[in-house]
Amino acid sequence: MSIRVLVVDDSALVRQLLTEILSTDKEIEVVGSAADPYIARDKIKQLKPDVLTLDVEMPRMDGLKFLENLMRLHPMPVVMVSSLTEKGADVTIAALELGAIDFVTKPKLDVERGLREYGRELIDKVKVASRARVASAKRHEGGAPVRAVPTVYKTTDRLVALGASTGGTEALRYVLAQFPPNAPAVVITQHIPGGFSRAFAQRLDRETQLTVYEASDGQPITPGHAYVAPGGYHLRVERSGARWFCRIGEDDPVNRHRPSVDVLFQSVATAAGRNAVAGILTGMGDDGARGMLALRDAGAYTLAQDEASSVVWGMPGSAVKMGAVMDIAPLDQVALRLLERAAG
C-alpha cells in the first residue's frame, strides 16, 4: 500500500520538484499539493494523506502556526522543508519541538539542483515519517521523573555520551532538562546538517541548566557543560593527562553520517572506558550500535530508549539486538538512570 503524501509549499517550482522526486519511488504516491496552509487544511480533510511535507515559511499563515494547529487538531507525520539560513534553522528547531518528525534543507540558490541532490534523503525521511509515532514526537511538558535525579557525584571523572537521530532533538532536550547544573560533562551526537547544530545547541543552552556549546576543536570538556557535534563534522573525545577535550574531524562519513554516533561512542570507550555512561535515543538506522558495544565491552554503563517512547526505534533497537545495551528505559526515565549510574 502506497504512502500518501501531500506537498505544501508556496513555490510552484518547489511543489513540482518535490512531487517529481517523491513520485520516483514506487512506495510513495503524491496525492496532491497546496500553496498555503488554508488550502492544505482542506486537502488534508479531502485526501487523507499519511505524510505532509511542509515549507517553513508560508504565506497567509506561517508554517509554525499551521504546524501547531495541525498537531493539536489532527496530529500526523510532518517533514519540514527548511531554508539554509540562520532564521530557517531557528524555525526548523522550533518545528521539531512542535512535533515535526524531521526536515530536509532547501538552498536559497539553485533550488532545483539542491533539492534533487537531497532527493534520496527526502524519500527516506518521508518513509520513516510514515511509520513514526507522532504522539511521541510532541513536546514533553513538565516531565519531572518519578524520583529526583542525583545532585551529588562522587567524582568529576565521569562522562555522559548521548546519540540520537530522528526525533532526537526533542528527546535530548527532554533528557538534558533534568540534568542538574553540576552534572557530569555530556557529549552529544545528533544527526543534523551544518547550519542547524548551532541553533540546536543554543536552544538546549536556553532550556536546560547546563551550559551547552556547539563543540569546537580542542575545547576542554568539563562538568556542568554539554557539547553538541557540529553538523557535517565528527565529534570525538580525546584524553590528555587527567582531562578530556573535543576533537572535531571532517573525515569520511560513518554509516552514511557525519557526525556519526559510532565515532563518538568509540572515542568515549577509548578515552573514558568504565567512567562513561551512555544512552542511545530515538533514530532511524543502526548508527551507534557498534560504538555502544565498544562502550559496554570497555566497562561503561549503556542504556537504550525503549520502543514505545521512541519516534523511531531503529538506532536503539539495533543496539539492543547487538547485545550492546545493559538497560532499556522509557524517555522519562533516561536522565534518572544515567545520572544514578554517574553518581555511583
From edge to edge, which strands make up the β-sheet containing 234-240? 220-221, 243-249, 234-240
Which of these is catalytic: 287, 306, 309, 318? 287
Measured CA to CA, the distance from residue 301 to residue 39 in angstroms comes to 50
Angle, vertex CA 138, rays to CA 315 and CA 181, nearest 5: 75
- Only one residue has cell 515559511, namely 57
Measured CA to CA, the distance from residue 242 to residue 8 in angstroms comes to 53
Q: Could you confirm whether 287 is annotated as catalytic?
A: yes
Question: 295, 326 in Cβ contact below 8 A?
Answer: no
Please report which residue ranges of 165-311 form alpha helices under DSSP H: 168-176, 197-207, 261-271, 289-297
Measured CA to CA, the distance from residue 98 to residue 181 in angstroms comes to 26
Measured CA to CA, the distance from residue 20 to residue 115 in angstroms comes to 11
Measured CA to CA, the distance from residue 314 to residue 317 in angstroms comes to 5
Measured CA to CA, the distance from residue 330 to residue 265 in angstroms comes to 21
Angle, vertex CA 162, rays to CA 156 and CA 327, nearest 5: 90
Length of the chain as a residue count: 344
Which of these is catalytic: 165, 197, 260, 318? 165
For residue 293, the one-letter residue type is: L
Outline where DSSP puts E strands in the chain: 3-8, 28-34, 51-55, 78-83, 102-106, 159-164, 185-190, 211-214, 220-221, 225-228, 234-240, 243-249, 276-280, 301-305, 327-329
Q: Could you confirm whether 191 is annotated as catalytic?
A: yes
Question: 131, 101 in Cβ contact below 8 A?
Answer: no
What is the C-alpha end-to-end distance of the chain, expressed in Å?
50
Q: Hey, which residues are catalytic here? A: 165, 191, 287
